[in-house]
Structure 1
Amino acid sequence: MKLLQKKIYIFFITACTLAVQFDLKSQIPEPYLYYDFDDESGTTSVIDSSGKERNGTVIGNIQFGEEGAPNGSTPNSGAAFSLGATGYINVVETDVPTDFGNRDQGISASYTMACWIKPDASSFTGDRFIFGQGSQGIHHGFRNGVIYHAHWGSDFSGQSVLNADEWAH
């Protein structure tokens, strides 16, 4: 699974949490992975703070040590992704169809993805994905400035338009 791939022009992601829930009786699921992006400049990997050891490898241009979202979980730290459209985090310890569901394979699962983002003006043309696979399947981000969700053909857009250079959660 490639996290934060495609030509993303998202600046200052401060924390990203992804929780997968299989048991409908559980109240609050354990996070599937949690990256706080509280890493030093020049780091080549990000540590999964969920305890599940889904650490990621930094591919391309990601700048750590940026200021985070003022109301986020790590306001003093964040990461600027895809400076020049090349940065993403690769996570290999994941079986996306099994862990996140795939209706074409008859696999059902639910999950929640949450993060703080601060897109710049160049982010509002085309597709900009925050989380997703390298080629097909799951992609979450925004399309032409509107929140967008793609999940093996079950795609939909949100109603709210993001604003350039403003934090959104």
Structure 2
Amino acid sequence: AGTDPTKDDTDEDGYSDIKEIEVGSNPLDANSVPPAPPIDEPLFFYDFEGDEGDLVTDKGQRGNNADVTRAAQTELGIIGGAPEGSSPGTAIEFSDGLLNVPGVEMAEIVSGEGSYTMTAWLKPTNLGGDKFLFGQTSQGIHNGIRNGGFLHQAHWGADTNGSTNLNGYLEADEDGWIHAAWTYDGETDTGKIYLDGSLDWEGNKRAPNGSGNLIIGGRNGGGNGYYGLADDIAMWDMVLEPEAIEELALGASPIGANLPFQITSITYDLQSGEIELTWDSKPGRTYLLLYNTSLESWDADIDDSIESGGESTTFRFENPEGPEAKALFFKVIEN
């Protein structure tokens, strides 16, 4: 049987039959969906793994490190990052703290010629009042939480809530973490807010005013700051496709599309009981190798500082659960 001519989406998987035919997925199978588009290299990506002192290292390729400017209110290395994110080992905690990102100037966005996507995993501890995560050194963008617990996108006078109040939403959430994303298309003056990969608001949004560079943790130089944990913070100078944002909310790394830490080989030596893994990697980096037996929790590590072997890394280790283990699952994370 063919597609249903009375329906745009025969298998009701959220993708039109025309779209599925174009990209090669099956319009008759709800489990066959179009692949997410590749995610371009972000302006920066902070996973807070291995960061200490007054510097947060950009784990992407742009070198846009962030400076901790309120050390007493900004704590790095908090054990227990976003469990569904790409780097669950550690997070950052803001208590009206602040990061300055001097390498990310906002002039092109302010002029109306630029666009952006800003994303983060968040575990807020205070939903009252204004709790902004992304801002500028002078006025302009202030995206975060506002008006009693809504995700909020504001360009200094162009202010909009998302549709979901996080107070009730988080009560029903198992771990207290959400994935938030804000996009702005400078060509069409369109803003969007996403909550856990789903569109929470879309509408007209003019370019921000103000000047200066990006800050993280507050607005307008550092006021009305965010309270809570954050992880996997990233920004792009373009609007990501909804499918890409959904992939991020499902745990994809913001830099994973360029060089995914995909395990390419698993070998088990029956004689020695040792396991050998090989994965795609980056020269000069170190990696955290996690495992579990049920895919429910990634809190057990085998080694937290594996030196890169270059474009590909191979690591051999003893079976952490012994020969009686029925199943083991592995995840590789860049430090």
TM, length-normalised to structure 1? 0.71
Q: Does 1:125 align with 2:146?
A: no
Q: Does 1:76 align with 2:86?
A: no
Residue 97 of structure 1 deviates from its aligned partner by 2.3
Map 1:62-141 onto structure 2 (within 5 A).
62-66=74-78, 67-82=80-95, 85=96, 87-98=97-108, 101-102=109-110, 105=111, 107-120=112-125, 123-141=126-144
Which deviations, in whole Å up to 9, do the C-alpha atoms of 1:36-83 show, x marking residues without a partner? 11134x52100111211111111212212211011011111111112x
Instruction: Assess, with a 3 A threshold, how the Cα gap between structure 1 residues 31 and 158 changes in structure 2: closer, same or farther.
Output: same
| Residue type at the aligned position of 1:49 | K
CA distance in 2, matches of 1:110, 1:27: 18
| Residue type at the aligned position of 2:134 | F
Question: What residue in structure 2 maps to residue 52 of structure 1?
Answer: 62
Instruction: Assess, with a 3 A threshold, how the Cα gap between structure 1 residues 74 and 28 changes in structure 2: closer, same or farther.
Output: closer
Structure ranking higher on relative contact order (CA contacts 8 Å, 6+ apart): 1
Q: Does 1:166 align with 2:176?
A: yes
Partner SS state of residue 91, structure 1: strand
Which deviations, in whole Å up to 9, do the C-alpha atoms of 1:3-45 show, x marking residues without a partner? xxxxxxxxxxxxxxxxxxxxxxx963221111111134x5210
CA distance in 1, matches of 2:83, 2:104: 31
CA distance in 2, matches of 1:50, 1:157: 30
Residues 152 and 161 in structure 2, CA contact (< 8 A), matched pair in contact too: yes
Residues 141 and 155 in structure 2, CA contact (< 8 A), matched pair in contact too: yes
Residue 152 of structure 1 deviates from its aligned partner by 4.1
Indicate the percent of aligned positions where both proteins have the same amino acid: 40
Aligned residue pairs, count: 133
Residue 119 of structure 1 deviates from its aligned partner by 0.5
Which deviations, in whole Å up to 9, do the C-alpha atoms of 1:74-116 show, x marking residues without a partner? 111111112xx3x110111222121xx12xx3x3222211110
Residues 43 and 104 in structure 2, CA contact (< 8 A), matched pair in contact too: no
Question: What residue in structure 2 maps to residue 43 of structure 1?
Answer: 53
Question: What residue in structure 2 maps to residue 33 of structure 1?
Answer: 44
Unaligned runs of 5+ in 1: 1-25
Partner SS state of residue 92, structure 1: strand
CA distance in 2, matches of 1:77, 1:132: 23
Q: Which is higher, the Rg of structure 1 or of structure 2? A: 2
Partner SS state of residue 94, structure 1: strand
Question: What residue in structure 1 maps to residue 151 of structure 2?
Answer: 147
| Residue type at the aligned position of 2:55 | S
CA distance in 1, matches of 2:77, 2:178: 19
CA distance in 2, matches of 1:93, 1:32: 9
Instruction: Assess, with a 3 A threshold, how the Cα gap between structure 1 residues 145 and 136 changes in structure 2: closer, same or farther.
Output: same
CA distance in 2, matches of 1:110, 1:29: 14
